[in-house]
Structures are given as C-alpha cells and as structure tokens.
A and B are shown apart, each in its own frame.
Chain A
C-alpha cells in the first residue's frame, strides 16, 4: 500500500471526492493556482478546472458564507481557512448559519459543507498560528468536529466529512502534516513514510465520523487524546512504563462515548490530554462525561493535561506545549492516587 504524508492524504481525499461527485468544490485563500500554503490542494485546479477549485479573497466570513449559499443551492463545498486561528471572522456564519440551517428551516435547506483548517501548535507559530479552537465548535449544536491524527484517517475522515449531509469542522494538526510528533522537539522527526499509519489506500474509502480508535491497548489507565497528543501520550506511556490504553477520539462531536466508557470501566483511571487551553476546553466535557458514566469504576480523579490558560506564546513554545514529560507526570500521579 502506498505511503503518503498527511498533506498528500488530505489532497487525495479531495481529489477522490471531486472525481466522484462534480458537486464538490474546493476554495479558500491561496487554494487554487498555488495549491495552498501547505500544498493540500496542489494540482486540483489544474485537474478539475477553475470552477471546481479556486482562489478566494482574504475574507473568512465570505468564504464560509458563500459556501453556505452554495450548499443551499445543492453543491458540496469543501473550503479552507488558512489557519484555525483565523476562523473567528467566520464564526457568525459557522455557528448561527451553517450549524442551524437544517434545524431552523426544518430541512427545507441543508448545509453539507466541510471547513478545513490547520490547527495546533508545536511549530513556533506564536499566538495566531498555533491555536486549537475545537471547544468553540463542540459547544455549538449542529456542527460536527473532526481531528485526524494520521494520513490514513485524514483521508478516510475527510471523504466521510465531504459526503456527510451536515456541516463538518475538519481540524488538521499541522504539526502532523509531514510526520508524527511525540513532543520530543530535540529529536529528528520521522516522516510518515516510516510509519504504518502513513499507509493510505488509493481510491475511495471512508473512516466513519463518530468512531474513536484505540491506538494502544492497555489495562492501567485510559488516555483520551486526539491530534498530536495521541503521539505525545504514546511516548509518555512508553517512558513511564505505564500500561495505558490510548484512545484517539478522531471525532469530538458526535463523540464515541461507548468506546470511552468501556475503556475507563476497565482501567478505572482516566487522563485527558489536549493542546487547547484548559479552562472550558473540550477536556472539561470529556471529564464530566467520564465522571457521569464511570463514577463507580473510578479509582482516581480524572486528570487533565492541557495548554496553559494563556495565549499561545512564541519563545516559550515547549513550556506551553503539553509534552511527554507533563503527560507522563499525570500518568504517574493518576496511578499513584
């Protein structure tokens, strides 16, 4: 099976979707001729023409708002916001319009759009190239929120998102675009070509939305993670020697609660890890759900390791990013409790 980077897998997903359905259109800033600042749409305009893949003005509200209108017409737009940090001008369109269109019109109009946005830190991106705004989407009823962690899932989830009849926020951890990253910034990064999850089948396949994946089976503690933190958690488990069960959530909403609950009931312990800031982050929702559903099985308080409640700094990148040492400490504390 061919190995692809996450960038190539995402590009392949759009290629496959555009090839199968001429209602799929792709646009955003620098997405057309140039092929995107991360190369995720390279070659699509040459292959499908300017009416299927094109450059947009620098106007996030315009990109999402026009996509909603296109979806109401009957197209399936897959649009790009260059960085998740720049989705805020489109927040009105995403939360009040895309999320609610089916509900408020009782199905008269629907909004099958995908909004791709590179997310997460660990790249010296500073305040506005590192944010993880997923909790601002999971709090909005009517949206689905997806965060892939590897090329195989990225392709399958993106095709599933494009085919989904509802609006999907597709957050791509840009730290994982070229290879997995476990937080050891002092070591060389291995490319996806050396990782089994870099195996991406040709042609059409989907990874269903709303289904988590167990990345490491274990019996001592359940780790709930997504995106880059999946690899950080794996490194932390290996380095502490703790037999952690690591769940890659993949879709945050709808959430695969069954997989989470079954795991925590088995291990009796739970550590939640995300890059986003702690307070009111998605980890709070996960923690509450685990407490509500697994209370009598819990042997230790549910722990959360997250970004600090500050804007994402530049020079202090590795003091901010929840690396394997911090996650490892949380694992040890949870086991010792």
Chain B
C-alpha cells in the first residue's frame, strides 16, 4: 500500500511544546576528549565527520581532557570566568532596567556567555568581528567600557551612537566589533569582504563572522559561504546554534541537513562542531580556526552548540512556545557552572571565592550603571540633541538635509 498520488506537506516540529516534559534524548553528544584535533592544514574532505560530532574538553567531573585541552593558563581561565559572570550580571541589570522603563529594549545572552567571551580571546589585535546582537561578550572580554555599553542602551547624552540606534546595536572599530545592524545575516558576507580586503592588502588580520541558527536560512549566509570558499578568505564563519530563532525551533532552519556545520561541507570549507557551553572547547576551536585563517589556509565554519536559556528579547515570552524548564534539561549545562567546577577541581577556585566574585562583579556593574544613568536614560535626563539626528548621514551634509534641519528648528 502506498500513498502515491497524494502528496503530504512536511513541517518540522520540536519534540516538546509548553506543558510537555523537556526531552533532549535525541541530541547525540560525543564524550569530552573523544574528537581528534587535526592539523590546521588538514584536507577538509578527511574531517567531514567533525561536522556531525561535538568537540568537548570539560567532562562531567570538571576535568579538561583530550587533544583540545591545555591551551589556557589558570589565570586565563579565571579571567574567562570573570568575563562570563560579568556578562551575565550586566544582562540581568539591563533586563531589569528595561523592565523599569529606563530603556525600550534589551536582549540577554543567558547560557551563551562562553561563546563570545572565549572566542574573543582567540583573536589578535586588529582582527574584526562582525557580530549579531547576541555577542556582547566580545566587548566585555576585550575590556570595552561597560558604562559606554550602557550609555548606548540608554540612548543618553553620552551614547557613542548619538541615540540613532536601537539598544544593544553597539559599534566599536577600536575593539574589533563591527557596527550591529537589525537586518539578519547581512554582516556574514560583509565579514567575508573584510577578510578579502585584508588578503588583497597582504595584511595579517582576519575576520570573524557571526550568525544564529535561524539566520543561516537567509540568502546572505549562502553568499558568505560561496565568497569565502571561492576566494579562500581569512575568515572564521561562526554559527551559534542556540536551538531557537524567537519561537522557531532550529529544525525549521536546518531542515534535513543534520547539523549547521554540515552546511559548510558542500562549499569545501572545513566545518567543526563544538560544545558552546564549554569555555575551553570554544577557545580551542576558535584558535584552531583563527590559525587556519592567519596561515592563509582559508575559512573555517564553526557551529557552537548551545541553548538560549533566556527569552529571545525583552519583548518575548518563551513559555508560549517551549517548556518552562527546558533550559534546565539542556544536556550541555551552564557555561559558568562548568568552568567554575573545573577551576575548583584545579584547586584555584572555590565556592566562597565564587560568591565573593559575584558580589564584586555586581558592585562593579551597579557602579557602571549609576555612572551611565548620570548621563540620562531613554526618557529622563540627558539625551542626544535633535541636531544629532541630521548629522553624520553623509560625510558632508547635502543641501536638502540642511534645509530639513532648519525646518526642524535645530
């Protein structure tokens, strides 16, 4: 018996919806240390399996194991933990500020702190990230002032972007952080162009492109992979697979491809998959890909497997489309807890020191927030001038804008 003659339309569905019991039993997770570490000049065809596995360093007992371990000193790991804790605290305070009406909008990184914080430490000065709206850890880990980030979020008189941009759409050339755009995926091909320019200029700088699982469905994802493949551009093509694109589970964007990393294989791009909640693994893989790019060996695609533990944004309520406890069931755990446990196991950290660090970080973030709020919040205090609205569109203001500025009375 066959259904021939009657087609049926297929729409993927997540395993569980609100009210159901979270179930990640279908997520196959390689054990820590089990995935080999190839040489950076490996033939992409010989490592196709890596696009379907998961590179992990930290095991269940908090030990760093396998060929991807051992790249970071205790001090560097402690610094990494502090960056992730800072980002989480920053997020919590800014989310609260949004609820208090001090700004219009915020997006958290909850559960994804390791990805951007660890990646940043694998880059060199002068390299350029083309981030999405969920990689503020790149700024935190590079020492970008939190007060300036908050000024941008508050659109106040000290906002470096003069109130023109939605909160969290930061920009800092100095810190290798390309101006964030609301348009998904556009930055992915721009990163490849930046990398091409570096190669054209015989420079030694590399670019890092960032995209989420959902946005890989955008045309510019394909454009970027074609151009990166054609010109062997010195770029690391990062895909942060946090399982969710607002309410849409990753299966809608991924379709039958198996993994997002597997998308790179058709372009002849070495493609790795990594535990995105494992600070050490993220850093090790990022470093491997960065060395490949810097060594003129071409692009690498890296899929970070993680989980968006928080709401998509301050305008979103995830309980409408996924179980409330789903993040607790996520098998790769919490990046901060995992690094914390590792450091305790190494004997360089303790629960007491962790609690103390949490308190210190909270004090620092609150102090930064006070300073930022002294420059104003969205609806109170200092704000950018109306004149700033007309400035800076072109290098030189054209006559029609000058007339409009005059009409606006500024």
A residues contacting B by CB (< 8 A) are 25, 51-52, 56-57, 59, 61-62, 65-70, 72-75, 89, 92-93, 96-97, 100-110, 141-142, 144, 164-166, 210, 253-255, 257
Task: Verify A68–B161 contact, CB threshold 8 A.
Answer: no
Q: B164 an interface residue at 8 Å Cβ cutoff?
A: yes
Interface residues of B (CB under 8 A from A): 128, 130, 160-162, 164-165, 169, 171-173, 178-179, 181-183, 186, 189-201, 207, 219-220, 222-224, 226-227, 230, 392-395, 398-400
Q: List, in ascending order, chain B residues with CB within 8 A of A210's CB.
A: 398-399
- Structural contact, A65 and B193, CB atoms closer than 8 A: yes
Q: B223: which A residues are within 8 A, CB to CB?
A: 59, 61-62, 65-66
Once the chains bind, are B183 and A105 in contact (CB under 8 Å)? no
Q: Which residues of A contact B224 (CB under 8 A)?
A: 62, 65
Contacting residues, chain B, for A25 (C-beta < 8 A): 197, 200
A59-B226 contact in complex given A69-B207, A104-B161, A257-B400, C-beta closer than 8 Å: yes
Complex alpha-carbon distance, A56 and B173, angstroms: 27
Listed from nearest, the 4 A-B pairs whose CB atoms lie closest are: A69-B193, A66-B193, A65-B189, A62-B223
- By a CB distance below 8 angstroms, the chain A residues around B198 are 73
Contact between B183 and A73, CB atoms less than 8 A apart? no
Having A75-B197, A105-B171, A110-B395, one finds 20 other A-B pairs with CB under 8 Å, namely A61-B189, A62-B226, A65-B193, A66-B193, A68-B190, A69-B196, A69-B207, A74-B197, A92-B183, A92-B220, A93-B220, A104-B164, A104-B179, A108-B172, A108-B179, A109-B173, A109-B179, A165-B394, A165-B395, A254-B400
By a CB distance below 8 angstroms, the chain B residues around A102 are 392-395
Chain B contacts of A75 at CB under 8 A? Answer: 197, 200-201
Residues of A within 8 A of B186 (CB): 65, 92-93, 96-97
Smallest distance from the beta carbon of B287 to chain A beta carbons, Å? 23
CB-CB under 8 A from B172, the residues of chain A are 108
Contact of A142 with B394 in the complex, beta carbons under 8 Å:
yes
Provide the bound-state CA to CA distance between A73 and B220, in Å.
Answer: 19
Q: Which residue of B has the minimal Cβ distance to A102?
A: B392
Q: Are A66 and B161 in contact (CB under 8 A)?
A: no
**Contact residues in B for A62 (Cβ distance below 8 Å):** 189, 220, 223-224, 226-227
Asked if residues B220 and A61 are in contact (CB atoms below 8 Å), the reply is: yes
How many angstroms from the CA of A97 to the CA of B160 in the assembled complex?
Answer: 19
A108 surroundings in chain B (CB, below 8 A) = 160, 171-173, 179
Complex CA–CA separation, A69 to B172 (angstroms): 15
B230/A141 in contact, CB under 8 A: no
Contact partner of B190 among A97, A144, A254, CB < 8 A? A97
Q: How far is the CA of A128 from the CA of B206 in the complex (A)?
A: 38
Contact residues in A for B162 (Cβ distance below 8 Å): 106
Docked-complex contact B400 and A255, CB < 8 angstroms: yes
Which residue of A has the minimal Cβ distance to B398?
A254
A253 and B197 form a contact (CB under 8 A): no
Flag if B190 contacts A57 (CB, 8 Å).
no
> Whole-angstrom distance from the CB of A334 to the nearest CB of chain B?
26
- The residues of A that contact B181 with a CB separation of less than 8 Å are 96-97, 100, 104
C-alpha spacing A108/B394, complex, angstroms: 13
In the complex, which residue of chain A has the Cβ closest to the Cβ of B174? A108
CB within 8 A of B227: which of A57, A72, A107? A57
Contact (Cβ within 8 A) A66 B196: yes
**Complexed CA–CA distance, A73 and B398 (Å):** 25
Query: What is the chain B residue whose CB lies nearest that of A49?
Result: B200
Which residue of chain A has the shortest Cβ distance to B183 in the bound complex?
A96
Name A258's closest neighbour in chain B (CB-CB): B399
The answer, among B160, B169, B195, B222, for a CB contact under 8 Å with A69, is B195
B194 touches A70 (CB 8 A): yes
Interchain CB contact (< 8 A) of B192 among A51, A69, A166: A69
Question: Which B residues lie within 8 Å of A107 (CB)?
Answer: 392
A105 touching B191, Cβ below 8 Å: no
Contact B227–A66 (Cβ < 8 Å) = yes
Task: Given A62-B224, A89-B219, A109-B178, answer yes or no on A72-B398 (Cβ-Cβ < 8 Å).
Answer: no
16 contacts between A and B (CB under 8 A): A51-B199, A59-B222, A61-B223, A62-B223, A66-B227, A70-B197, A92-B186, A104-B179, A105-B161, A106-B160, A106-B162, A106-B164, A109-B178, A166-B395, A210-B398, A254-B400
A52 contacts across to B, CB distance below 8 A: 200
CA A97 to CA B199, docked complex, whole Å: 23
In the complex with contacts A62-B227, A72-B178, A106-B164, A67-B193 CB distance below 8 A:
yes
Which residues of the partner chain A approach B230 to less than 8 Å between Cβ atoms?
57
From residue B132, how far is it (CB to closest CB) to chain A in Å?
A: 14
CA distance A74 to B193 in the complex (A): 11
Residues of A within 8 A of B196 (CB): 66, 69-70
Q: Who on chain A is nearest to B163 by CB?
A: A106
Chain A residues, Cβ within 8 Å of B197: 25, 69-70, 73-75
- How far is it, in angstroms, between the C-alpha of A286 and the C-alpha of B394 when the chains are bound? 22
Determine the distance from Cα of A171 to Cα of B173 in the docked complex, in whole angstroms: 32
| Interface pair B394/A106, CB less than 8 Å apart | no
Contacts A61-B223, A75-B200, A108-B172 given: A69-B183 contact, CB under 8 Å?
no
| A69→B220 contact, CB < 8 A | no
CB-based contact B179/A69 at 8 Å = no
> In the bound complex, how far is the Cα of B194 from the Cα of A116, in angstroms?
20
With a cutoff of 8 Å between Cβ atoms, the chain A residues found around residue B392 in the complex are: 102-103, 106-107
Q: From residue A166, how far is it (CB to closest CB) to chain B in Å?
A: 5
Contact for B179 among A65, A105, A141, A164, CB less than 8 A: A105
Instruction: Provide the residues of chain A in CB contact with B201, threshold 8 Å.
Output: 73-75
Report the separation of the CA atoms of residues A66 and B128 in the bound assembly, to the nearest whole angstrom.
14
Complex: how many Å from CA A70 to CA B395?
Answer: 18
